[in-house]
Amino acid sequence: LAKTTQPISMDSYEGQEVNITCSHNNIATNDYITWYQQFPSQGPRFIIQGYKTKVTNEVASLFIPADRKSSTLSLPRVSLSDTAVYYCLVGDSIGNMLTFGGGTRLMVKP
């Protein structure tokens, strides 16, 4: 089981780019990397997923180096509404995503 390590919290200001890095040193060959966003009292919402290199969608970008032992979620030009907890998960199938971990609490300030 690949465990993940993220910073507990981060602060940013509106309009800035935010990069949240996740370490997953023992990631397996079949594992994908998935990021979720969670607002208080709501379920996590899928943001982005990748296997290697770079993935971009309308919400964020995900950078994965060649060794895949870490990944960086990049949020361009954050707004106050991006204040949330961001979780990094690594896994490939049922049961491999046993624990989300504490996530990273992002606070966006005006």
Partner 1 sequence: SQTIHQWPATLVQPVGSPLSLECTVEGTSNPNLYWYRQAAGRGLQLLFYSVGIGQISSEVPQNLSASRPQDRQFILSSKKLLLSDSGFYLCAWSVLGQPEETQYFGPGTRLLVL
Closest CA to 11 of 110, 96, 106: 106
What is the length of the chain?
Answer: 110
Specify the amino acid at residue 87. Y
34 binds partner 1 (CB under 8 A): yes
39 binds partner 1 (CB under 8 A): no
Shortest Cβ distance from residue 3 to partner 1 (Å)?
Answer: 11
Instruction: Pick from 46, 54, 56, 76 the residue near partner 1 by CB under 8 A.
Output: 46
Nearer to partner 1, 3 or 77 (CB): 3
Footprint of partner 1 on 49-68 (CB under 8 A): 49, 51
110 binds partner 1 (CB under 8 A): no
Three-class DSSP category at 41: coil
- The C-alpha atoms of residue 93 and residue 41 are separated, in whole angstroms, by 26
- The C-alpha atoms of residue 13 and residue 53 are separated, in whole angstroms, by 27
Nearer to partner 1, 13 or 46 (CB): 46
93 binds partner 1 (CB under 8 A): yes
